[in-house]
């Protein structure tokens, strides 16, 4: 309950975060204890899933609270933070199910949930943080456990390479970003985003603002996988276990968008430093480059990686006009919700394929529609939604994005995005044609195991979510309209 | 004679440039990690200089500097753990040996 205490220790405001943090700490000894003990290995995963559901409930309860800041103006409690926390928690929950499904019966089962909880916690903090120090801290909290997740299978060659690239890119990008943040402090003498915005709006030296913005943008662009800071993404997604790639393609990216929006809307309102122009350029570059490279991919995880880069480019359209078009925020939120569901659905099918076949070559998917109808259907729906075919969520989401772009006078960018969506259809439909039109290789051995209840749950939640969100877009919009409520 | 703010900023910018150069040019992952540490030190120096000259009455920048130092320590910890894991698996931490994922 909102109270009027002068103290800065407003623990009542962060119950969802406290649940995850407490559980994460508890899981450290629990994971060590259950390591290698048969059925006990399911305990950490079960606890973590329960914790995520509890945090979802606690966050949903906060939705109608008044917007306010806590912890001495460093942590925001507003519609924006709550909706982004709901998105992050749902993404983490579905990704956790997929990870548990992929590692069922393996020792990694015990360790994955702990890292996943801490990374999610970092993302949640980032959507609320109003202080430069907290931003740096939460960005690190998001990245460090993600390295652990990527290298869950310690002896895997591809994972080893993926984690090395992820670590070097992330550490360098976040250090460059923090260097940029120090200049904001130097210009304004404050670490708080709101006061920085007020001070810069008056008489900021444009050259220094642009320099700081450029450096800071590198860190956020890294998290959002924007071209040209995307080089890590395809390697990490294809080297990590597919279920983990699903997590890394969803949670850090959504958190990156949350952090970036929070940063520019508070510290640089009214487009100070020309960030809307920079974001527009990055959007054009990201969607085009992502789609063009995706055209010639031969592996499913890599294809999904480039597709998710292109999707980030689409989401940047409303971000570029977030400070002037009223509907921009709900378009971002709606598309992120759709992206989360369809991307996790696609990656969980890739994870099933990796578990049963040990490969993600597109050629190995030939005839999947006849051998394994359920996963094939899930993958086909996810790809159609990513391509933007009605009545799936991706279609409604793209309509909202383009509408907002037109309202914000970005006609050329909207046209470019539309052309890109047509281009993207080619590779999405190419995969679907493989699933249903090609016959499986005659000498191919039948798949080892069935999907298992965890996979069915992952498929069910993500696919039904995509359908419901697409058929009833007003449900999603009602929720994401809350994004406009900033402190 | 007091040292002006610009001098601190120039030293920090030099540290930053050295760090970026190390990250880009070094071939050994451990040396890249060192480059990242130099980057973090540039941030710390910048922060403390700005604190002293811009807003010495407010201690929050010092806390930010301590956060940066902590981040550096944690990053070093997990970074070295990753290097150790890679070395055990492939007996090499040269980044050029890890170039199989491409396309």
Distance from CA of B2 to the nearest CA of A (A): 19
CB-closest option in A147, A176, A183 to B78: A147
Given an 8 Å threshold on Cβ–Cβ distance, is A155 in contact with B89?
yes
CB-closest option in B29, B40, B71 to A164: B29
Interface list for A 283-302 with B (CB within 8 A): 297-299, 302
* Number of domains making up chain A: 1
Q: Is the preceding peptide bond at A419 cis, omega within 30 degrees of 0?
A: no
Our CA dihedral for A297, A303, A305, A308, rounded to 10 degrees, sits at 120
Q: Is residue A5 part of a domain?
A: no
Q: Is residue A237 part of a domain?
A: yes
In A148-214, the DSSP E strands lie at none
pLDDT at A130: 95
Beta carbon pairs, A and B, within 8 Å? 115
Q: For A311-362, what is each residue's pLDDT tens digit? A: 999 999 999 999 989 889 999 999 999 999 999 999 999 999 999 888 889 9
Is pLDDT at B60 greater than 60 in this prediction? Answer: yes
Q: What is the DSSP letter of A131?
A: B
Q: For A204-214, what is each residue's pLDDT tens digit? A: 788 999 999 99
Spatial distance between the Cα atoms of B33 and B76, rounded to a whole number of angstroms: 7
Give the distance, in angstroms, between the CA of residue A334 and the centroid of all CA atoms in the same chain: 13
Chain A residue numbers with beta carbons less than 8 Å from the beta carbon of B17 are: none
pLDDT at B85: 93
Q: Is residue A442 part of a domain?
A: yes
Spatial distance between the Cα atoms of B103 and B100, rounded to a whole number of angstroms: 10
Q: Is residue A1 part of a domain?
A: no
Domain membership of residue A290 as a residue range = 11-484
CB atoms within 10 A of CB A412: 11
Q: How confident is the model at residue B96 (pLDDT cuts 50, 70, 90)?
A: confident
CB A434 within 8 A of CB A362: yes
Spatial distance between the Cα atoms of A199 and A189, rounded to a whole number of angstroms: 9
Low-confidence residues of chain A, pLDDT below 70? 1-6, 442-451
CB-closest option in A136, A160, A168 to B71: A136
Instruction: Tell me the helix, strand and coil percentages in chain A, rounded to 5.
Output: 80, 0, 20
In B, minimum Cα distance to A293 occurs at: B103
Task: Enumerate domains of chain B plus CATH numbers.
Answer: 5-91 (1.10.287.3510)
CB-closest option in B20, B54, B85 to A154: B85
- Predicted model pTM: 0.95
Q: Is residue A4 part of a domain?
A: no
- What average pLDDT does the segment B41-50 reach? 95
Q: Is residue A2 part of a domain?
A: no
Q: What are phi and psi of B28, to 5 degrees?
A: -95, 130
Q: What are phi and psi of A75, to 5 degrees?
A: -140, 125
pLDDT at A448: 54
Instruction: Dump the DSSP string for A318-366.
Output: HHHTTTT-TTHHHHHHHHHHHHHHHHHHHHHHHHHHHHHHS--BGGGGT
Chain A residue numbers with beta carbons less than 8 Å from the beta carbon of B77 are: none
Mutate to test the interface with A, among B22, B82, B84 (most CBs of A within 10 A): B82
Q: How confident is the model at residue B102 (pLDDT cuts 50, 70, 90)?
A: confident
Which value does ipTM take for this structure? 0.96
pLDDT at A2: 47
- In the block, which residue shows the tokens 């298992």? A452
């Amino acid at each position: 309950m909102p109270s009027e205490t002068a103290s800065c220790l407003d623990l009542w405001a962060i119950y969802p975060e406290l649940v995850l943090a407490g559980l994460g700490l508890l899981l450290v000894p629990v994971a060590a204890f259950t390591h290698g003990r048969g059925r006990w290995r399911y305990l950490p995963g079960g606890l973590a899933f329960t914790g995520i559901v509890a945090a979802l409930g606690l966050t949903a309860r906060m939705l109608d609270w008044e917007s306010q800041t806590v912890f001495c103006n460093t942590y925001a409690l507003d519609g924006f933070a709550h909706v982004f926390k709901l998105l992050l928690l749902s993404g983490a929950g579905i990704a956790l199910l997929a990870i548990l499904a992929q590692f069922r019966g393996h020792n990694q089962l015990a360790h994955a949930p702990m890292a996943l909880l801490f990374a999610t916690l970092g993302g949640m903090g980032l959507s609320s943080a109003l202080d430069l120090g907290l931003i740096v801290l939460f960005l690190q909290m998001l990245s460090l456990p993600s390295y652990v997740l990527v290298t869950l299978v310690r002896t895997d060659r591809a994972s080893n390479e993926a984690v090395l690239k992820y670590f070097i890119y992330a550490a360098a990008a976040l250090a460059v970003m923090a260097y940029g943040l120090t200049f904001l402090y130097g210009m304004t003498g404050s670490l708080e985003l709101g006061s920085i915005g007020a001070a810069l709006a008056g008489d900021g030296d444009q050259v220094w603002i642009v320099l700081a913005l450029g450096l800071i943008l590198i860190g956020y662009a890294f998290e959002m996988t924007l071209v040209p800071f995307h080089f890590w993404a395809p390697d990490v997604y294809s080297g990590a276990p597919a279920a983990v790639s699903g997590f890394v393609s969803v949670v850090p990216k959504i958190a990156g968008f949350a952090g970036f929006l929070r940063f520019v809307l508070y510290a640089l309102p009214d487009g100070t430093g020309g960030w809307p122009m920079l974001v527009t350029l990055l959007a054009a570059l990201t969607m085009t480059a992502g789609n063009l490279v995706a055209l010639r991919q031969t592996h499913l995880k890599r294809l999904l990686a480039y597709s998710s880069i292109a999707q980030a480019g689409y989401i940047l359209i409303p971000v570029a006009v977030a400070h002037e078009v009223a509907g921009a925020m709900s378009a971002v939120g709606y598309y992120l919700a759709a992206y989360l569901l369809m991307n996790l659905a696609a990656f969980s099918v890739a994870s099933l394929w990796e578990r049963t076949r040990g490969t993600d070559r597109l050629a190995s998917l030939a005839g999947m529609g006849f051998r394994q109808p359920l996963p094939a259907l899930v993958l086909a729906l996810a790809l159609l939604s990513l391509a933007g075919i009605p009545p799936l969520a991706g279609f409604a989401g793209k309509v909202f994005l383009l509408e907002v772009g037109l309202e914000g006078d970005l006609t050329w960018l909207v046209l470019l995005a539309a052309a890109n969506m047509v281009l993207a259809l080619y590779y999405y439909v190419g995969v679907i044609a493989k699933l249903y039109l090609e016959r499986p290789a005659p000498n191919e051995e039948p798949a080892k195991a069935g999907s298992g209840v965890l996979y069915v749950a992952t498929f069910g939640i993500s696919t039904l979510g995509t359908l419901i969100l697409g058929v009833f877009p007003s449900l999603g919009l009602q929720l994401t309209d809350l994004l406009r409520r900033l402190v | 004679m007091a040292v002006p703010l610009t001098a601190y900023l120039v030293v920090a910018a030099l540290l930053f440039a050295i760090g970026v150069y190390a990250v880009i040019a070094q071939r050994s992952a451990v040396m890249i990690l060192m480059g990242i540490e130099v980057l973090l030190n540039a941030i710390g120096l910048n922060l403390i200089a700005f604190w002293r000259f811009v807003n010495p009455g407010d201690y929050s920048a010092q806390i930010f500097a301590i956060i940066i130092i902590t981040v550096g320590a944690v990053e070093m910890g997990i970074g070295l753990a990753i290097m150790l894991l890679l070395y055990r698996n492939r007996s090499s931490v040269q980044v050029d040996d890890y170039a199989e994922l491409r396309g």
